[in-house]
């Protein structure tokens, strides 16, 4: 659709336009099509890939250059060039960083209005304390730090621990609602496995959950269990059917954070899958395996620990390069936000 040809600023008398500006006003019609384009949103988000092999040496160097006390959180941010590097957006709504913690280091306790998660990329011995519960961090584990919950990190193992941080920071900052509060280190008042043991089996809940709900009952999703569940799902999915599991709040069966959604995908050996086009943007992180991604017109070869940006309304095809081994991917998206706003669309 071509639509109406709208008047530009140049069609207006200079003195009239000057008076509008002096009164802190503007005419809508010269800008209307920019903010409300026909058919598809304007997307500045580029379908880029961040390769872990490129970034890892710089992240380890940050560990030498900047003591943790001088960084609070030692992070290299994955910035989408289409959105301006300084704006620290992987997509318009999703912030992604790679955080390094070395043995014996601690990242101090705080809580904030943005929602955050950690997805462990490498290393052993890391942990996050959330709401008085110490959550071990093993490779591929997803740890939630929901809005307003205290969280701090530590490392009791050997060698570097690296995880991916995902936050709804661009949204919360964009609505001028982003802030944090510092606190003293938390008292750990819950046993190891407090939440994972209670909610370890889908379809079964601690009985008391029927009467008493907490907002965020499950804070850690061990990768070992997600990987096994994907394999079991793959065994009953038809060829060509997308093998994808959503991480949910076990008490409500819906997304586990207000704005961001999380899912895991298994690409069976040799499999190529076109995902449905959606209104939501996403970031995809490779947990295991190698393959190709076609995102709109961008073709990327991906390997373990690489991360890709998927713009809103993008065409998206994934293929596994191996004919013998599966590939596993972790996806963060803003579909919960779209659903809450009533703008979520799934195009078939």
Counting Cα atoms < 13 Å in the Cβ hemisphere of 273 gives 20
In the bound state with ligand 1HN, the residue whose beta carbon lies nearer, of 27 and 258, is: 258
The residues near 339 (Cβ < 8 Å, ≥ 6 apart) are 255
In contact, 288 and 322? CB cutoff 8 Å:
no
3-state secondary structure of 76: strand
Shortest separation between residue 215's beta carbon and ligand 1HN, angstroms:
18
Question: What does the block give as tokens for 90?
Answer: 């992987």
Shortest separation between residue 264's beta carbon and ligand 1HN, angstroms:
22
Shortest separation between residue 183's beta carbon and ligand 1HN, angstroms:
12
Shortest separation between residue 164's beta carbon and ligand 1HN, angstroms:
10
Shortest separation between residue 169's beta carbon and ligand 1HN, angstroms:
5
Binding site for ligand 1HN (CB under 6 A): 73, 75, 97, 99, 107, 112, 116, 151, 153, 165, 167, 169
Contacts of 189-197 spanning 24+ positions with Cβ under 8 A: 189/132, 190/131, 190/132, 190/133, 190/134, 192/134, 192/136, 194/133, 195/133, 195/219, 195/220, 196/220, 196/222
Contacts of 238-244 spanning 24+ positions with Cβ under 8 A: 240/273, 242/273, 242/275, 243/267, 243/268, 244/331
In the bound state with ligand 1HN, the residue whose beta carbon lies nearer, of 43 and 74, is: 74
Shortest separation between residue 217's beta carbon and ligand 1HN, angstroms:
21
In the bound state with ligand 1HN, the residue whose beta carbon lies nearer, of 48 and 88, is: 88
In the bound state with ligand 1HN, the residue whose beta carbon lies nearer, of 271 and 334, is: 334
In contact, 73 and 62? CB cutoff 8 Å:
no
In the bound state with ligand 1HN, the residue whose beta carbon lies nearer, of 145 and 281, is: 145
In contact, 316 and 308? CB cutoff 8 Å:
no
In the bound state with ligand 1HN, the residue whose beta carbon lies nearer, of 42 and 85, is: 85
Shortest separation between residue 107's beta carbon and ligand 1HN, angstroms:
6
The residue whose two tokens read 């006390």 is 69
In the bound state with ligand 1HN, the residue whose beta carbon lies nearer, of 93 and 99, is: 99
């Amino acid at each position: 659709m071509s639509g109406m040809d709208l008047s530009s600023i140049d069609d207006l008398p200079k003195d009239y336009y000057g008076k509008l500006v002096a009164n802190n006003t503007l005419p809508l019609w010269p800008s209307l099509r920019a903010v409300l384009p026909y058919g598809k949103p304007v997307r500045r988000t580029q379908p880029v890939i961040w390769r872990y092999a490129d970034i890892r040496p710089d992240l380890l160097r940050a560990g030498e250059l900047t003591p943790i006390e001088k960084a609070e959180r030692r992070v290299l941010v994955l910035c989408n060039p289409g959105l301006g590097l300084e704006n620290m957006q992987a997509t318009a709504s999703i912030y992604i960083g790679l955080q390094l913690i070395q043995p014996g280091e601690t990242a101090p306790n705080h809580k904030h209005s943005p929602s955050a998660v950690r997805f462990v990329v490498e290393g052993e011995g890391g942990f996050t304390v959330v709401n008085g519960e110490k959550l071990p961090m093993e490779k591929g584990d997803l740890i939630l730090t929901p809005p307003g919950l205290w969280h701090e990190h530590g490392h009791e193992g050997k060698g570097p621990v690296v995880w991916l941080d995902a936050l709804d920071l661009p949204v919360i900052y964009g609505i001028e609602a982003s802030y944090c509060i510092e606190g003293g280190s938390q008292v750990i008042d819950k046993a190891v496995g407090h939440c994972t043991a209670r909610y370890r089996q889908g379809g079964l809940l601690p009985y008391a959950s029927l009467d008493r709900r907490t907002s965020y009952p499950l804070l850690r999703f061990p990768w070992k269990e997600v990987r096994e569940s994907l394999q079991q799902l793959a065994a009953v999915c038809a060829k060509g059917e997308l093998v994808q599991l959503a991480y949910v709040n076990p008490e409500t069966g819906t997304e586990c954070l207000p704005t961001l959604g999380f899912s895991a995908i298994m690409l069976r050996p040799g499999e190529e899958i076109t995902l449905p086009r959606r209104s939501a943007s996403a970031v995809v992180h490779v947990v295991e395996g190698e393959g190709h991604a076609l995102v709109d017109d961008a073709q990327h070869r991906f390997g373990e620990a690489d991360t890709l940006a998927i713009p809103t309304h993008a065409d998206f095809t994934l293929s596994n390069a191996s004919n013998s081994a599966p590939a596993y991917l972790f996806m963060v998206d803003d579909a919960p936000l779209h659903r809450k706003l009533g703008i979520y669309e799934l195009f078939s």
